Structure 1
Amino acid sequence: MKLIGSLTSPYVRKVRVVMAEKKLDYEFVLENVWAENTQIQAHNPLGKVPCLLMDDNGSLFDSRVIVEYLDTLSPVGRLIPQQGRDRAATKCWEAIADGVLDAALAIYIETHRRPAELRSQQWIDRQYGKINVALDSMDKSLDDQPFCMGVNFSLADVAVGCALGYLDLRFSELNWRSKYGNLQRLEEKLQTRPSFMATVPVQS
């Protein structure tokens, strides 16, 4: 398999962490979707990463779709419960973590890709509001549990860890650790895992 992505994208990192946890072999292909000569749309019509190219030349895109597929490839380190309420709860954790990323990326694009005269501070403030409410909700839901879903490491922790890592990369001024001690405790635990240590995002 080949994974097309970047060293900055938190969605790509989520897939890379899952692949490491599942002990899956793959080739990592770097792609800059903002470059004029990008070829990403040959594999993903939406022009986004991550994109997974499979051995039969088929492709999967959207990190949520890819990680769900990857979790079925090996019984090693099952990350998503197979059915029931725990499965839904795990996916809800992933959804709120991805929501933090969606808002963070919206801010980054607005402030770095959009002409200054067209930027909307009201829009930016709205996205910051989403991030703060989501972090507060995740912190309270985590409470004193070792992991998001209780005692077992899961996709929920992968998603949350990647979201917090991206905030550190792009929005260090948020200083989220000073407000959300439960998330800080989780993040410190995740950073000791080889899958997270090997995929630390790179500033670009």
Structure 2
Amino acid sequence: MRLIGMMDSPYVRRVAVSLKMMGVDFAHDQLSVFRHFDAFAAINPVVKAPTLVTGAGVVLMDSTLILEHVERLAPPDRRLTPEDLAVHARSQHLIGLALAACEKAVQIVYERELRPEDKRHQPWVERVTGQLAAATGLLEEAVGAGGGWLTGERPMQADVTVAVVWRFIQHALADVVPAARFPALSAFSARAEALPEFASSPLE
């Protein structure tokens, strides 16, 4: 399998860390949707990161859909989705909050980096920033002050997604979401980033 995309994308990094945690072998082609558009388009004409090319040559996109497929390839004891229904609901709740925060953070980054300043619509920026604040606030409450993992005794998909998203937000928007206001998320992120699967998949 081949994972296509840059690690500065939280969605690409989410998939890379998850694949490593599940023990699924893959090659990583670091192609940017901006700098390597034509090369990326030759693999996936939609040019969406992450893209995963399966061993059979099927092109998959969207991090959640990719991970849903890979879960079927991983050994049962390495899968990252909880089996228990109540635990699964909590996991999906946390992942949903993290992905919502990620979506709003990416929108703000694109607004800053791609749209000319005189073309920005400030009421929309304020709305998206408020949504980001709501999502990160709820994640801070959910993570709490505990020192364990979010849905079990080992890191699962909720842990991967929350940690990857928080690291991206701090990398890209620390001025919008100051780490000092989120001590639980910051401590949780530090524990996750110390794991070998995270350390070997650095945000670039």
Normalising by structure 1, report the TM-score: 0.90
**Residue 131 of structure 2 aligns with which residue?**
130
CA drift at 1:28: 0.6
CA distance in 1, matches of 2:84, 2:45: 31
User: Pick from 160, 169, 172: which aligns with 2:171?
Assistant: 169
CA drift at 1:26: 1.0
> What is the DSSP-based 3-state SS (H/G/I as helix, E as strand, rest coil) of the residue aligned with 1:173?
coil
CA distance in 1, matches of 2:14, 2:133: 21
> What is the DSSP-based 3-state SS (H/G/I as helix, E as strand, rest coil) of the residue aligned with 2:4?
strand
> What is the DSSP-based 3-state SS (H/G/I as helix, E as strand, rest coil) of the residue aligned with 2:3?
strand
Q: RMSD value over aligned CA atoms?
A: 1.9
List structure 1 segments (4+ residues) > 6 angstroms apart after TM superposition. none
CA distance in 2, matches of 1:82, 1:57: 30
Contiguous gaps of at least 5 residues in structure 1: none
Q: How many residues align?
A: 202
AA aligned opposite 1:8: D
Moved more, 41-50 or 3-12: 41-50
Moved more, 117-126 or 133-142: 117-126
CA distance in 1, matches of 2:118, 2:37: 27
Do the aligned residues in 1 keep the contact of 2:170 with 2:179 (CA within 8 Å)?
A: no
Alpha-carbon displacement from aligned partner over 1:3-58 (angstroms, at most 9, x marks no partner): 11112100000000001111221111122212474243455454310010011111
CA distance in 1, matches of 2:37, 2:138: 41
Pairing of 1:120-199 with structure 2 (within 5 A): 120-145=121-146, 146-174=148-176, 176-199=178-201
AA aligned opposite 1:193: L
**Residue 52 of structure 1 aligns with which residue?**
52
Normalising by structure 2, report the TM-score: 0.90
AA aligned opposite 1:164: W
**Residue 74 of structure 1 aligns with which residue?**
74
Alpha-carbon displacement from aligned partner over 1:111-146 (angstroms, at most 9, x marks no partner): 111122211222222222111111111111122341
> What is the DSSP-based 3-state SS (H/G/I as helix, E as strand, rest coil) of the residue aligned with 2:38?
coil
AA aligned opposite 1:81: P
Do the aligned residues in 2 keep the contact of 1:68 with 1:80 (CA within 8 Å)?
A: no
